Structure 1
C-alpha cells in the first residue's frame, strides 16, 4: 500500500509539473500550488515548507538587477562583452560562449545574452565562421552560468539547501567546483561545436542566399561590430556597483570571519548576507545613477524574475510536500540507486530542466534527493552545474528563438522534430563535458 500511495502521489507531482510546463510562466507556480492542494486535501499529507529563504534571495536580487537595468547597467555590460568578443573573432566559438557565461554569471540572469546575439552573429559571419556554432553554444553556456552565479535564483535555492546542518556546504564551496567545471566544459565544447555543421563556403543554403542577394558574402575586413545599445555614465556606474556587490558576496562567502555574528555568536549565514548586499546595491544604484524607480516593474529582468519566483514558490512547495512525506522511502530506494550510480542524479536534474526550463525548480526538486542519498557535496555540485544545460534541449526558450531570428545566414535552426535544431547537440556536449569536469573537481576539492 505504501508503494501504491508513493507512485500515485508521484504521478500527481509529475502531472502538475507537466501541466505547468504546458502553461509556462506563472502557470508553473499555479500548478505547483494545485498539486500541494491535492496532496494535502486528497491524500492527507502535511504541507511542506514553502521556499521562503530562496524566494527572498530571488526578490532582493531581482530588485537590484532591475535597478541596474533601468539605469543602463546591462547596456554597459553588453558593450564591454562585445569588445571582448571582437578581439578574437576567429576563435569566436570559444570566446563568445565564455564571455556570455561570465556576464550571465555576474548578472545572475541569462537575459543579458539577448543584445549580444546580433554581435556574435555579425562577427562570426564576417569572419567566415558558421554563426550557428558560437550562437548555439553561447545560448547553452548561459544555462550552466547560473550554477556559477552568487546572485541567480538557482544558486539561491542551492545555498538554502546546503548551507545548513548537517552539510554546512556554503556558497564558496559550491563556486570553487562549478566555476572551473563550467569553464573547462565550455572550452572543450567549443572545440567540438566548432566542427558542427558545414562551413559557410560549403553550405549550399547559405551560398544560395548569397547568390540571390539575400545576404552579403562574408567580409573579414568589416570586423568592427558594435552592440546596438546606448552606454551612459549612469549605466556604467550602475553596472560597476552591481558587480562590486557580486564581488562582496563572494568575499563574504570566502571569509566567514568578516561576517557579523548572529544571536548565537556564529557568523551570519550567506542567505541574509546575499539579501542585505543586494538591497544595499539597489539603494546605491538609486542614489548614484538615479534611474526612474517607477519604471522598475516594467523592466524585462523584473518581469522574468517575478515569474521565476512564482514558479519556484509553487513547484518547490509541491516537491517539498512530497519529499517530506516519503523521505525514508526515497533515501532507501531512489537514494540507493543514486548512490550506486551518481550519474542518475545528474540525469534527474537534466530531465527536470528539460521539462520545466527552470534551473531553480530542478534544484529544489532533485537536490534534496541527492542530499538524502548521501552524494558527496562536491560531486553533487559539479554534476548539478553541468545538468543545467538541459533547459536548452528543446527549442522552446526565448534566447534560442532570438538566436535563430538574428542569424540572417539561416545556419541557426529551430527544427521541426524537437531534436533537429541547432542547440540539441551543443546542449548534450556541454552537459557531458561539464558534468565530467564537475565530478573531477568535486572529487578533488569538494566536500
Structure 2
C-alpha cells in the first residue's frame, strides 16, 4: 500500500472511531466527538477543514423555534387530538389507518415523536375491537423512522437538502418530496398489509387468553377503563404518561407527559388529547408555513430573484426560503397562539432540536473534511462498489442510522459519499428514505419502549436478544420495500 493509502485508512479509522464513540455517548456527544475527529484530521493529518453545515443548522434552528412556539401554544395537543379522531373512526382498519395518520402528522410536525400520545389510543382501539395491538403499534412506530424523509421541516430533510440542491445535483425540495412521499406511503401500505397477517389473532393467542382467564387482563370488550391510562415504564429512558381521553375543545388545561429524547431528531410531544382554540390556530399557522415552503419550492418564480454575481437574476435558495418562512410563521404564532415565549427553551421540541443541531454540526464537519480530502480516492474505490451494487449505499445508511439512532447523522455521514461516488441523486434520495428505518433496528428508542409498555396485552415485545423484538420484522419489510420503490421512482427524477 502507498503512503496515501495508509493515510486514507488511518483517517477513515478516525472517522469511524469518532462515530462509534459519539454513538456510545449519545445526544450532544455525537457532535462533540465529531468535532474532535475534525481536529485530529486538521492538526494531526494536516487536512484542510471542510465546510461546516451552516445552511442545515440555519434550517434546524428556524424550524425548531417555530415548532417549539407552536408546542408552547398547545398546537401539538391539537394535532394529536385530530389524529386520534381519525384512528377511532375506522377501528377495523387500524393497522393501516393508524400508521398513515401518524405519518401525515409526523411529516407536518417534523418529528416522529408526535406518536407518543397516540400509542395508548391505538392500543385501546385495537384491543377493544379484538385486533392484536402489536400490529398497528409496530407499524406506527416504525413509520416514524422514515417519515422525516418526507417532511419539509425535519432535521434530516435540512441535512439532505443542503447536500442535493447545489450543483451539479440540483435536486430541490419538491423533487425530493416527489420521490420520498410516494415511496414512504407505498412502504407503509405494503408493510401494514403484511403485518396484519403476522402473529396469532388476539382471540387465538394462548398467552393473552390465559391472562384473561386468570383475571390479569380485562377481556377486550371490557378493556376501556383499563386501557385509558397506561404508564410507560422505563428502561434507561424516562417514561411517557399519556391519557387517551375523549377529544374536546375549549380551555381545558392540557394533560401533559414527557419522555426523554432518545434519537437526535426526536422529541416527545405533549401527551394531551385535549386542546385549546389557541393551540389549534397555532398548529394551522405552522402547517400554513409548511405548505408555503412546498409551494415556493415547487414554483421558484414565486421567490425573490437577485443578480448577486453578475450572471443574471436567480431566485433565493431554499435554505433562505425555509428560514424566512419559518421565522414569519413563528411571529404569527406569537400573536395568534400567545404562547409564553419564556417557556420556549423548556419545550421538548426545542431541547431535542438543539441536541440535533450540535450533533449534526460536529459529525457533518468531520465527514465533510474527510470527503474533501479524499474525494478522488472515494470515487475510485467506494464509487466502484456502489456502482456495481447500488444497494450497498442503502445498507450503509441503514447501519449508521441503526448505530446512531439519528436520521440526520446518517444523512450527513453517508449521503455525501454516495453522491461523490457517482450515484444518481434521485436514486440516492429514494434509497435514503427507506434506509432511515434502520433507527429501529435495536429496541432502544423511546417510542419502541413506550409502545411495548402501553400494550397491556403483552403482544408488543422488546425481546431479550437484541433482534427478536416485535418491531424488527416490520422495520425490515418497510425498509426493503421503501428502498426498492424509492430507487425506482428516483431513477426517473432528474
User: Which TM-score applies when normalising by structure 2?
Assistant: 0.88
Counterpart for residue 253 of structure 1: 297
Counterpart for residue 314 of structure 1: 362
Deviation at 1:130, TM superposition (A): 1.0
Deviation at 1:212, TM superposition (A): 2.4
Q: In 2, distance between residues paired with 1:262 and 1:406?
A: 54
Counterpart for residue 163 of structure 1: 165
**Do the aligned residues in 1 keep the contact of 2:34 with 2:366 (CA within 8 Å)?**
yes
**Do the aligned residues in 2 keep the contact of 1:119 with 1:226 (CA within 8 Å)?**
no
Counterpart for residue 36 of structure 2: 34
Q: In 2, distance between residues paired with 1:411 and 1:199?
A: 10
Deviation at 1:179, TM superposition (A): 0.1
Name structure 1 gaps, 5 residues minimum: none
Select which of 252, 266, 271 maps to 2:319: 271
Deviation at 1:225, TM superposition (A): 6.3
Deviation at 1:113, TM superposition (A): 0.9
Deviation at 1:214, TM superposition (A): 2.4
- The Cα offsets for residues 126-158 of structure 1, whole Å up to 9 and x where unpaired, read as 111111111111111011110000000111011
Aligned counterparts, 1:96-135, within 5 A: 96-135=98-137
Q: In 2, distance between residues paired with 1:261 and 1:46?
A: 34
Counterpart for residue 172 of structure 1: 174
Deviation at 1:376, TM superposition (A): 1.6
Counterpart for residue 347 of structure 1: 395
- The Cα offsets for residues 221-280 of structure 1, whole Å up to 9 and x where unpaired, read as 969963642210000000100001000000001001111113331011100000001101
**Do the aligned residues in 2 keep the contact of 1:353 with 1:390 (CA within 8 Å)?**
yes
Say how many residue pairs are matched.
Answer: 446
Aligned counterparts, 1:65-104, within 5 A: 65-104=67-106
Q: Establish whether residue 439 from structure 1 lines up as the match of residue 478 from structure 2.
A: no
**Do the aligned residues in 2 keep the contact of 1:19 with 1:31 (CA within 8 Å)?**
yes
**Do the aligned residues in 2 keep the contact of 1:127 with 1:220 (CA within 8 Å)?**
no
**Do the aligned residues in 2 keep the contact of 1:172 with 1:254 (CA within 8 Å)?**
yes
Deviation at 1:218, TM superposition (A): 1.1
**Do the aligned residues in 2 keep the contact of 1:54 with 1:160 (CA within 8 Å)?**
yes
Select which of 407, 413, 434 maps to 1:386: 434
Q: In 1, distance between residues paired with 2:74 and 2:172?
A: 32
Q: In 2, distance between residues paired with 1:420 and 1:161?
A: 36
Counterpart for residue 281 of structure 2: 237
Counterpart for residue 199 of structure 1: 201
Task: Say what the alpha-carbon RMSD is for the aligned residues.
Answer: 1.5
**Do the aligned residues in 1 keep the contact of 2:127 with 2:223 (CA within 8 Å)?**
no
Counterpart for residue 141 of structure 2: 139
Q: In 2, distance between residues paired with 1:221 and 1:10?
A: 55
Deviation at 1:220, TM superposition (A): 8.9
Q: In 2, distance between residues paired with 1:121 and 1:317?
A: 42
**Do the aligned residues in 2 keep the contact of 1:9 with 1:39 (CA within 8 Å)?**
yes
Q: Which portions of structure 1, spanning 4 or more consecutive aligned residues, are displaced by more than 3 angstroms?
A: 220-228
Q: Establish whether residue 369 from structure 1 lines up as the match of residue 417 from structure 2.
A: yes
| Deviates most, 90-99 or 36-45 | 36-45
| Deviates most, 145-154 or 28-37 | 28-37
- The Cα offsets for residues 303-352 of structure 1, whole Å up to 9 and x where unpaired, read as 11111111101111111111111111001110111112111111111111
**Do the aligned residues in 2 keep the contact of 1:122 with 1:225 (CA within 8 Å)?**
no
User: Which TM-score applies when normalising by structure 1?
Assistant: 0.97
Q: In 2, distance between residues paired with 1:414 and 1:95?
A: 23
